[in-house]
Structure 1
Amino acid sequence: MATASDYALIFDMDGVLVNNTDIQAHAFQMLFRDLGLTTNAHQLLQRLNGMPAGAILRSVFRHAVPEEDIERYTNQREFLYRTLYWDHRQEVRGLTPFLQAARAMGFRIALGTGSGNDTIGYIIDHLDLRRYFDEVITKDDVDRGKPHGDTYSVAAEKIGIPPERCLVFEDAIMGEQAAYRAGMRCLCLSTSISADKFQAPLRVIQDFTEITPAVTLELLEQNTPVPTPSKELASRQYAQDA
């Protein structure tokens, strides 16, 4: 009989470990205002959240933008985000007790995020969360970000658990699609978008007080088939009505 040690839990960071989507959107909106763009950042992130910031920024321009400009805009957005979020960093309710209990049960645990090492340190080191993760996978560890499945595939490879025994915790459409492309099931948090926006998660929760590692193990042992990824939901095109 399988035990928790036969399975892995892989967590996204933004919107999963911390509820920071509104701050992210505010930073994007300030950047757009500075660039003279009228894009609605909240609508943009509802559709494309989970992708690396540079990829999100490319989607709002109707013309080709030099890579050095995208990098400069990305750095500006990151500075705005950190400034806005500095005094508000806190974990999603119930996260630490959940992680502690999951480790005690024997789950392998990884972090898979589209952010870079400096950005994740701003969150997980400030909140003293790094110690709960066996592996940390960032945008610097993969060639393709979400919605491609590389982030989660590399995480599974690093911790030595096959994809079908991994459960991804996500808050974003692109992240859920990345999980399915990696051959994994997904449990979603409604911190960033409403539950009906997701394709087919095993469960949707508001925070980690609504689930336990024991229940998570039960969900995994049901062996629900991994959904076929949705080409429509994984589209990188920004849709105003998303």
Structure 2
Amino acid sequence: MPTPALPYALIFDMDGVLIDNTPYQARAFQLLFRDLGLSTNARQLLRRLNGMPASNILKTVFTNPVPDKQLKEYAAQREFLYRTLYWDKRREAAGLSKFLQAARDAGFKLGLGTGSAADTISYILDHLDLRRFFDVVVGKDDVDKGKPHPDTFRVAAQKLGVPPERCVVFEDALLGEQAAYKAGMRCIALSTGLKPAQFQAPMAVFKDFTTLTPRLVLELLDQHPRAPRPSKELAGRAYSQLR
């Protein structure tokens, strides 16, 4: 008797994928920068660094080193600003729940892999009743290194019991896309913060989930049998030079 094929797994980033919240994230950073007397353009910064933990993003905007304790305080201030701005705007991406349910019904395993901490994950997943769709949830507190390191997606795959070559990552950020490739996974991109041409090599780019189906994901997997190699230029930029 032939051995049954292993299932595929779909691993989703949260910000900019499950929800289209990038403008609110950028606004929160911009308000923080104003308070700190910084002239950094938050939208431009997030186009390149989105996906990193906030404290790591903040580390790149100061000319002189800032103690980690202070960076964490700034990150907490940014988080408060973001939640205040986004409180009444929390909405799932168009077509998301329908696609997640269809994927589960089709036999896909589903995971969440985000750089957010547990309370921020709850702020979105539980408010929108999305946690019920996911077999595993991996956040900032579950890994040693966040994106663009591959740990987030590797841990999610391990918990799902699915090898990397059978995992598809859904990402809206360059660093998340690079993390997927470093983990040996293929990627589908969401163009909530970037234009399609700005990604490296996703299997496809969608604006939301309204036209996405499990059958289409399987077709894309057949068309792209291997994960791309991560781009050294995109994954290894001198981010500390950003201002």
Smaller-chain TM-score bracket: over 0.9
- Tell me the residue number matched to 2:163: 162
Whether contact under 8 Å (2:6, 2:162) holds in the other structure is no
Task: Give how far 1:2 is off.
Answer: 9.7
- Tell me the residue number matched to 1:9: 10
Q: Which AA in structure 2 matches 1:178?
A: A
Please tell me whether residue 237 in structure 1 is matched to residue 219 in structure 2: no
- Tell me the residue number matched to 1:43: 44
- Tell me the residue number matched to 2:198: 197
Q: Which AA in structure 2 matches 1:105?
A: A
Residues 30-50 of structure 1: CA distance to partner in whole angstroms, max 9, x if unpaired?
000000000000000000001
Task: Give how far 1:210 is off.
Answer: 2.0
Whether contact under 8 Å (1:48, 1:238) holds in the other structure is no
- Tell me the residue number matched to 2:180: 179
Q: Which residues of structure 1 form unaligned runs of 5+?
A: none
Whether contact under 8 Å (2:173, 2:194) holds in the other structure is yes
2:6 and 2:104 map into 1 onto residues whose CA distance is: 9
1:104 and 1:56 map into 2 onto residues whose CA distance is: 38
Q: TM-score normalised to the size of structure 1? A: 0.96
Task: Give how far 1:12 is off.
Answer: 0.2
Structural mapping, 1:35-74, within 5 Å: 35-74=36-75
1:236 and 1:114 map into 2 onto residues whose CA distance is: 20
Task: Give how far 1:222 is off.
Answer: 3.7
Q: TM-score normalised to the size of structure 2? A: 0.95
Q: Indicate the RMSD between aligned Cα atoms, in angstroms.
A: 1.7
Structural mapping, 1:39-118, within 5 Å: 39-118=40-119
1:144 and 1:200 map into 2 onto residues whose CA distance is: 23
- Tell me the residue number matched to 1:147: 148
Q: Which AA in structure 2 matches 1:107?
A: F
Q: Which residues of structure 2 form unaligned runs of 5+?
A: none
1:114 and 1:74 map into 2 onto residues whose CA distance is: 13
- Tell me the residue number matched to 1:188: 189
DSSP 3-state at the match of 1:176: helix
Residues 18-69 of structure 1: CA distance to partner in whole angstroms, max 9, x if unpaired?
0000000000000000000000000000000011111000011111101110
Task: Give how far 1:221 is off.
Answer: 3.3
DSSP 3-state at the match of 1:208: coil
Residues 100-156 of structure 1: CA distance to partner in whole angstroms, max 9, x if unpaired?
100111100000000000001000100000000000000100000000100000000
